[in-house]
Copies of this chain bind each other. A is one copy, B any other.
């Protein structure tokens, strides 16, 4: 077992491969060429590395015409990489740091049952911005206007408040290093988005794709440009 572990870790440990895996972390499938561009290396080199990752069963491929789409072969891979990512030394963050302007969002992930990734953070930012939720000593609270906003959306907060589970809490996203909403409110919002087909789950990963309908809705309700 030990040497197997060592093999796997050196497989992941190579800078180029680590970069490939990092790129795939958003859950989408990428073609070989896309990955080559993303990690800034040659096609042959990418091909070699992808071969090794396939052999180790970390990735799988789907052929579509002359393209080959690579993605994680199962969600354990994503979990492991997330766990590794959580180990990176935390930079000294000043609280004054302005949140940067995020580039258009292409993807999001789920943190089991609520939204995370770029979208999760953006949604949370938007709710704060619109003062639908407000931060109070490291916790989130729903404002008066917020209650109206949620009921307009068709989300019944009274229901949620009755549940045993935590109603609303911030949850730190490991990659964005930003808070996003979790708790039953996070779940309700997430389910709403799925049910309305704004978002769609993917098969083998925790990735979520944004539908065309979703793009419009995100813009309308959250002023988020996808």
Contacts and interface: CB of A to CB of B under 8 A. Distances in A.
Contact of A9 (B6, B13, B58, B175): B13
Q: Bin chain A's interface residue count.
A: 20 to 34
A19 interface: yes
Contact of A12 (B13, B15, B57, B177): B13
A8 interface: yes
Nearest to A56: B89
Contacts of A7: 88
Nearest to A76: B86
A87 interface: yes
Contact of A15 (B6, B82, B177): B6
Which label, helix, strand, loop or mixed, suits the secondary structure of the A interface? helix
Interface in A71-97: 76-77, 79-80, 82-89
A56 to B, nearest CB: 6
A15 to B, nearest CB: 5
A62 interface: no
Instruction: Give the 6 A-B CB pairs with smallest separation, nearest first.
Output: A13-B13, A80-B83, A4-B88, A83-B83, A9-B18, A6-B18
A218 B79 CA distance: 35
Contact of A13 (B1, B10, B177): B10
Given A9-B12, A13-B9, A88 B22 contact: no
Given A1-B175, A13-B14, A14-B13, A8 B87 contact: yes
Nearest to A77: B87
Contacts of A85: 1, 5, 8
